[in-house]
Each structure stands twice: as C-alpha cells, then as structure tokens.
Amino acid sequence: FAPPPIDASAELVRNFVEALLDWKNAMDDERLDVYTSKFAPDVLINCNLYPIRPQLKVLLAQAAVFEYDANTVAVLAETILNRSDKIEDKLGISDVLVSDLALNPDLFAHYAPSQLLEDAQRCVIVLSLANRFVNDPTLRGHAIAIRTTNVATAVQVKCLIQDIEHTRDDLGGVPIAPDHFEGSILVCSSCHHLLVSVDEVEMLRDAADERHLAAAIRVGLYKRYVFSGTPLRWQDLPNFSIGHDFFASLTRHHVMSGSGLAERLVRAVIETICHDKLDATHALRIGQGPGDAQRLRGADLAWRRDIDRDFHLHYWDCHTGIVELAVLVVHNDFSIP
C-alpha cells in the first residue's frame, strides 16, 4: 500500500498500481481471501504515506503516468484496506516481540521508513508461527504479498521470541528465548505467483468439504494451463460440478490420507475436465456387454476413467458441456449416482 518514492520511475509507479489492481480483482473474482495487518493504516499514517492522494498526484505527474489518476488509485488501496479482514484476528496472534532475527532471503531489507520494515518483519514472524503451530491446513495456502517482481518462494525465519500476545490455547510448544524459533512462510508478488506455488494435491488432502475440494481442482486446472504454455485467466477456466456423493466417496476410500491416490486422482480429474487422454475413458453401459447402450441421465452421458488398476473415476459428461464428478469407485463397481 505504500506508494513508491516521489522520484520513482514510470515502471515502478505502474507496477504499484498494477499490484493493487491484481489483488482487488482477485478479491472480486473470489479467487482468494485478502488479509491485512491491523497496524497497516497506522504505519502508513505515521510514515506520512496515508492518505495517499497527495503523494500519488505528485508521483503520477513526475513519472508521466497519465493513464491513472490519483483518486482512482487511492480508492483501489482504500477498498482493499477496508474490505480485508485482519490477519491478527484470523490467527488469534496479535503481536510478537523478538530479537536476533534472521530472514532468508531477506526480501524486506530495503524497506523504508523503518516502520514499514518492522511491520513486514512482524507479519512474517506471526504467519510463520501460525504456519508451524496452528492446526489449520488452509494456512499452507497463505502467503505474504510483496511488490518485488515475479516472486513465489518461501522465507525462512529464525529468531529469539521474547514475548507473544495471543488468544490461542495451542501455542504451548513455541520456543521462547533463549531457544530459537525457526519457521517459514510463502511470499508472492501476484495472485498468479501464489497460485502456481500452492500444491493442489496437498490442498485436496487437507480438504474438509466440497468447497475446499473445488478450490484444489481449480488451482490444479490453473497450473495445468500455465505449465502447458496456454495460460487462462481464473474466470476462463473450464467449469465443472461436484456430484452429491463425490466428496463422501473420497473419504470412504481414504484419499485424504498420505497415499499417492490423491495425486493420481487430481491428475485424472483435471484430465477429465480438460477432455485429455480419452484413451483412459470408457462408456458406462447399462449392462456388462460391450454392445450394451451407454447409461444416460436425460441427455447426459455416463463415463468411467481409469485412475490406476484399483480405482476409477465415474462422471457425467453433461449436455451443457460441463463435467460432473460423480463418484470414486473400486475396480468391480460400475455404479454411478
């Protein structure tokens, strides 16, 4: 949220505006939830960086960036700040006092004024604490957004914790000085770099409901198109639906355990939605004979995709063009809800 210095180049100014636009669009598209530090407004005010309209007006003019106006950019920043929940409230960890801090890589070393640096460091420590000690699998999909270009990596944290302000009852194992705490947290420079750094298989293993499952599949779809060299916008990814028995069937077959079935299932689901590797699919028929008619649900067609020798994915190829994931079955089960 801190504007670049007054003498910043046009490229830096555009990067600042584009970063705000990226996170605002990600919030609007419901790709993710954005959290901000509860101290962010006070830090910006104390550093004479908020309200940002006066500085933005000068900044845009000197950099000859005329495609944006100060009021529009300020509204972007204020919208994100006002709509986002506070990460301290989400985690139940409000503050931490440390010494002997080492970050690797130290992506915040150039931050100025010093209050910006200190709050960035505090956020890294709070999130890395939660990442290690709070039993919330969704934290593995959290990252700190920074404005450095094209970053999707983890920051390693090592420090002596002198004091923690929190409301949790599960932080008894946190090492307090003179013992060192060590942890890590993802950082990213855009929603794109966050999505490509998240592990969709781990997301599926941690899924507690259909919403989590759908998110894991969509992340996998997004990465599939990126890595194939034909990236799609989040809103342009192929649509799919999850049948009423699909999540329960994954639970019945222990997909969320540490086995490799989760990885094979994610691959099969993505291939199914993208209509890839059709040689692994077979029509689900009304009987056992190869000449029996394919099973129908109105105009929807029932199909079976091989995941491995033991497990198969049954799905409906709907007349609307959408794939409905129906059920995960074992080899001798030819049913479909």
Confidence of residue 259 (pLDDT cuts 50, 70, 90): confident
CA gap 199, 219 in Å, rounded: 8
CA gap 324, 312 in Å, rounded: 15
**Statement: residue 164 has pLDDT above 80:** yes
Enumerate residues 6+ apart whose C-beta is below 8 A from 75: none
Rounded to the nearest integer, the mean pLDDT of the chain is 93
Q: What is the pLDDT of residue 60?
A: 95
Tell me 312's DSSP state: E
Q: What is the value of pTM for the model shown?
A: 0.87
Enumerate residues 6+ apart whose C-beta is below 8 A from 323: 238, 240, 241, 272, 273, 315, 316, 317
Q: What is the pLDDT of residue 1?
A: 87
Confidence of residue 136 (pLDDT cuts 50, 70, 90): confident
**Statement: residue 115 has pLDDT above 80:** yes
Query: ω before 5 within 30° of 0 (cis)?
Result: no
Q: Which is it for strands 311-317 and 323-330: parallel, antiparallel or unpaired?
A: antiparallel
Instruction: For residue 249, give the H/E element and its range.
Output: helix 246-252
Q: What is the pLDDT of residue 141?
A: 82
Share of the chain above pLDDT 90, in %: 81
Structure tokens at 227: 């890595």
Per-residue pLDDT tens for 166-187? 999 988 889 999 999 999 999 9
Per-residue pLDDT tens for 36-75? 999 999 999 999 888 889 989 999 999 999 999 999 999 9
DSSP 169-197: SS-TT---TTSEEEEEEEEESSHHHHHHH
Per-residue pLDDT tens for 208-252? 999 999 999 999 999 999 999 999 999 999 999 999 999 999 999
Q: What is the arithmetic mean of pLDDT over 299-317?
A: 97
